[in-house]
Amino acid sequence: MRVRKSQMLKSAPIFAALGDATRLAIVSRLSTEGPLPTIALGKDAQVSRQALTKHLQLLEEIGIVKSERVGRDRRWQIKTQRIEEVRRYLDQISAQWDARVERLRNFVEEGDD
C-alpha cells in the first residue's frame, strides 16, 4: 500500500496549519468541547481577537473547521470529514512503516544464522 502523491498534497496544508501551537489548541478544544463561539475560544488564547480570527479563518479555508454566524459572533466546529481523511492518510503511512520495520526485522533475524 503506497501513499498517493495526491493524498500527500491534499493533506500537506492541514499538517502545516496544525504545526502552529495556537491552531492546534483551537482544534483540540473544538474536538473536546464541541462547537464554540469565537469569544469562548478567545478566553484562554494567548493571542488577540484579531489574530484568533485569522487562525480560525485559515482553519476554515483548509476545511478543518466550519462556522456559522450567531448574532454578532461566529460559532466554530470541527469538520470531521477532513480530519478523517488525514487520519486515513496517517494510517497508510503507519502501515508502510510497519511493513518496512517487519522487513528489517526479518533481514536481521535471517542474518543471525
| H-type alpha helices, 5-79 | 5-18, 21-33, 38-43, 49-61
Per this entry, what is the length of the chain?
113
In the DSSP assignment, the letter for residue 3 is -
CATH number (3.40.50.2020, 3.40.1190.20, 1.10.10.10, 2.40.50.140) of 5-111 reads: 1.10.10.10
Domain boundaries, the chain: 5-111
Q: Which strands make up the sheet holding 65-70, listed edge to edge? A: 36-37, 73-78, 65-70
Per-residue pLDDT reduced to its tens digit, 73-98: 999 999 988 888 888 888 888 888 88
Q: For 19, how many CA atoms within 13 A lie in the half-sphere containing its CB?
A: 7
Per-residue pLDDT reduced to its tens digit, 24-44: 999 999 999 999 999 899 887
